[in-house]
Amino acid sequence: MFEHKSQSILPLRSFIKRMMLFVVLAGSLVLVALLIGVAGYHWIAGYSYIDSLLNAAMVLTSMGQVNELNTDAAKLFASAYALFSSLIFLAVMSVIMAPVIHRFLHKFHVDKLT
């Protein structure tokens, strides 16, 4: 996916296309994580879909739970989902930053060769 160190640096237009691809990939990860949260809050906690979406979005963005959880199963799901959400945050940031960091390191390496 990325150019080899012996290749020249990617032109800006191609780099922007690559960044758009990686942002779409990161957005897909967020969407899947949000759907998991909505399903869990709906089926395990018994919330409506709107309340499930609200709680999943708030936990996914690290803002915290909105509604009170009444069952032990719902509390266990919310705990697991909060841990899962922190991993999703790291994954999304890694996906978005990978092309930027690669371009920086590649530029640095190309400058050292010339």
- Report the C-alpha gap between 112 and 114 in whole angstroms: 6
- Report the C-alpha gap between 82 and 99 in whole angstroms: 27
Going from N- to C-terminal start, the domains of the chain cover 26-109
Residue 87's alpha-carbon distances to 3, 36, 67, 76, in angstroms, are 28, 14, 23, 17
Architecture of domain 26-109: Orthogonal Bundle (1.10)
Alpha-helical runs (H) found in the chain: 12-43, 49-60, 72-113
**What is the chain's pLDDT, residue by residue, as a tens digit (114 residues)?**
777 777 788 899 999 999 999 999 999 999 999 999 999 999 999 999 999 999 999 999 989 899 999 999 999 999 999 999 999 999 999 999 999 999 888 887 765 555
